Amino acid sequence: MPVFAVKGTHDLFGEEASCYAYIENVFKAVCELYGYKPIETPVLEYTEVFDRATGESSDVVRKEMYTFLDKGSRSVTLRPEGTAGVIRSIVEKKLYATVDLPLKTYYVGPVFRYERPQLGRYRQFIQAGVEAVGVDSPRLDAETIILAMRVLGMLGFDKLKVKVNTLGDQASRAAYKEALKSYFSEHIDDMCEDCHERLRLNPMRILDCKVEEDQKIVAGAPKMKDYLSQEAEKRFYETLSILNDLNVDYEIDDTLVRGLDYYGHIVFEVHAQSDTGADYGALLGGGHYDGMLNMFGGPKDNDSGVGFAMGVERIYSLMRDNNMLNDIETGLDIYAMPLGEDVRDDLFHIVEEIRTLGYSVEIPFTSLKMSSMFKRAERAKAKFALICGSEELERGVVQLKNLATKEQVEASIETLDATLDELFGEEQEEHHHHNHEE
Ligand code: AMP
């Protein structure tokens, strides 16, 4: 009987897996550029971690978590997002007890949500995210958005839609929730079942409702901006003016509330257009939060944070649709071709030396015909073939064939490092030149 992957999960292999690794590496490199350091927390947490941080009224916590009792009858959950576990860890390990605030962390890893699988929506997917905690500053909030934009910029995205909104401070949100409560109470009979519960738990969640028929009612709801305290409003415009200064193009979307309960002040989402017209949903989302460290038993002061998470699957899908993956170099530098069994040992040695120089090399493990080796080299997208028979070995040389231009040079094994540096240097220039002509 065949066995299949769990519904909503997916295997990663081949070129797609290489592209994921590329996206994750770009993300990590940009995080390091902003002084962020990696953090890894368990996929499995006590359920309470998400009940507390993510908020019991959020859809994610109410309906989408993979929660089960372990063999010791403790309720555990596969993380549905990254922030709660990171904050739990920061508090538990007292990482916040440093003078070097903000504490800047980044992570990449799988998260799990029991959602209906569809385009851009999986049950296991990869989030790459950052959390910066311990400093309450519009500048830090802005920097986080700028970091996110730089990741997407480095990946080659240009036409991006950045939506921002403010959820204000506690007082603003309390006033706004009251206003929403009385507005939606009048319309709730015409709204979906979920909205009935949202009205009870947190009326702001209704603004996130995806049900078509509810949209008209949602559109007429009171706006956050009319309930902002003066301070919260000032704070929002401070953040926006920093974004303006750095030429971040955004639009204010006053229906943006984000799916999780812990946000305050600025929240944001980034969307991109697929050339195929497919809509995968937001590429990334995040925002500022207050009070979360304290929620886990941490300090009350310096208890602000800001972060975002991006979905690697969605980024990959868009890059594929928009032909942005072509420039990702996954090819091999050199494919080594032993001519005959008696050179195999020596060539194996030479190949290892070349790897020490930093060039990627493959060598076949079975004896193959020349033509098969060239086919393999082509499939591996190798730039050069390194050909060596016993006659070459005796003279202390190998043949290096540029597989694009078919030019072949003989190189002394003794000075192979210099020859390779020279050949690959030219190759780089050619490549550059080529790209600029296009
Ligand atoms: P959220 O934590 O809901 O704000 O999600 C952050 C990002 O994760 C989104 O912008 C998406 O890129 C990605 N994401 C959320 N849910 C899914 C899902 N079910 N499948 C794939 N990616 C997702």
Tally of structural domains, the chain: 2
The verdict on 48 and 127 lying in the same domain is: yes
Ligand 1 atom closest to 80 (CA): 2
The verdict on 26 and 160 lying in the same domain is: yes
Instruction: State how far the Cα of 364 lies from the Cα of 325, in Å rounded to an integer.
Output: 28
Looking only at the bridges linking them, the beta strands covering 250-252 and 384-389 are unpaired
| CA 151–ligand 1 middle distance (angstroms) | 16
Give domain status of residue 189, yes or no: no
The verdict on 128 and 238 lying in the same domain is: yes
Instruction: State how far the Cα of 163 lies from the Cα of 385, in Å rounded to an integer.
Output: 50
Q: Name the residue range of residue 100's domain.
A: 14-169+229-321
**Closest C-alpha among 204, 151, 162 to residue 311:** 151
Backbone angles phi, psi at 189, to 5 degrees: -65, -25
The verdict on 46 and 139 lying in the same domain is: yes
The verdict on 26 and 69 lying in the same domain is: yes
CATH code for the domain of 423:
3.40.50.800
Query: From first to last of its 438 residues, what are the pLDDT tens digits of the chain?
Result: 889 999 999 999 988 999 999 999 999 999 999 999 999 999 999 999 998 877 666 666 678 999 999 999 999 999 999 999 999 999 999 999 988 999 999 999 999 999 999 999 999 999 999 999 999 999 999 999 999 999 999 999 988 999 999 999 989 988 999 999 999 999 999 999 989 988 888 888 898 888 888 989 999 999 998 999 999 999 999 999 999 999 999 999 988 887 666 789 999 999 999 999 888 989 999 999 998 899 999 988 889 999 999 999 999 999 999 999 987 767 899 999 999 999 999 999 999 999 999 999 999 999 999 999 999 999 999 999 999 999 999 999 999 999 999 999 999 999 999 999 999 998 777 665 555 554
Structure tokens at 17: 């897996």
Instruction: State how far the Cα of 76 lies from the Cα of 377, in Å rounded to an integer.
Output: 48
Residue-wise DSSP of 40-109? ---SEEETHHHHHHT-TTSHHHHHS-EEEE-TTS-EEEE-SSSHHHHHHHHHHTTTT-SSSPSEEEEEEE
Residue whose CA lies nearest to ligand 1 atom number 22: 311
> What is the model's pLDDT at position 78?
97
**Closest C-alpha among 49, 39, 32 to residue 108:** 39
Ligand 1 atom closest to 284 (CA): 10
State which of 258, 289, 321 marks the end of a domain: 321
Residue whose CA lies nearest to ligand 1 atom number 9: 284
Distance (Å) of CA 414 to CA 353, 393, 396, 420:
11, 11, 7, 12
Q: In what order do the strands lie in the sheet with 66-69?
A: 44-46, 75-78, 66-69
Give domain status of residue 351, yes or no: yes
Structure tokens at 396: 């202390």
The verdict on 304 and 340 lying in the same domain is: no
Ligand 1 surroundings by CB, under 6 angstroms: 81, 113, 115, 120-122, 125, 127, 259, 282-285, 309-311, 313-314
Give domain status of residue 217, yes or no: no
**Closest C-alpha among 12, 30, 8, 34 to residue 21:** 12
How far from chain centre, in Å, is Cα 370?
Answer: 42
Burial class (CB within 10 angstroms; exposed 0-12, middle 13-18, buried 19+) of 305: buried
The verdict on 317 and 359 lying in the same domain is: no
**Global confidence as pTM:** 0.90
Instruction: State how far the Cα of 141 lies from the Cα of 305, in Å rounded to an integer.
Output: 8
Residue whose CA lies nearest to ligand 1 atom number 20: 121
Instruction: State how far the Cα of 331 lies from the Cα of 424, in Å rounded to an integer.
Output: 13
CATH code for the domain of 90:
3.30.930.10
The verdict on 129 and 269 lying in the same domain is: yes
Give domain status of residue 383, yes or no: yes
Give domain status of residue 238, yes or no: yes
